[in-house]
Homo-oligomer: A and B are copies of this chain.
Amino acid sequence: MDALAAIAEPTRRRIVDGLRLRECTVSELVDMLGMSQPAVSKHLRVLREAGVVSAQTRAQQRVYRLEPGPFRELDAWLAPYRRMWTHHLGELERHLDRKAAGPRLGNKAGPRLDN
């Protein structure tokens, strides 16, 4: 699933979010992103090679649209993690309960571990 790395990039996620509703040409995306056209084309190349988008040549323009495959993969990868919040939480629930009730014994004033 290299598509995840492609989508993780902020600019590319903006592109993907922009393509969610309607397909776009490169110029439209350049307009939407406020970046140089080569930069956008390079991001589109990354997304293309990751299978996230596909391009259709129309006149001198390239119309880009989303491909569902990577999203399905991501959804499938995410599926087992859904148990964390949909099914009875079990162990996690106990963990949260402990955190809400009081800190663990024996380890107060621990080092800053954030979160």
Contacts and interface: CB of A to CB of B under 8 A. Distances in A.
A93 B80 contact: no
Contact of A56 (B48, B85, B104): B104
A69 B93 contact: yes
Contacts of A74: 74, 78
A42 interface: no
Interface residues of A, number: 44
30 contacts: A4-B4, A4-B8, A4-B13, A5-B8, A7-B8, A20-B80, A20-B81, A49-B114, A54-B114, A55-B114, A55-B115, A56-B104, A57-B104, A57-B107, A57-B110, A58-B104, A62-B113, A65-B95, A66-B81, A67-B92, A67-B93, A68-B81, A68-B93, A69-B93, A69-B96, A71-B81, A71-B85, A72-B85, A74-B74, A74-B78
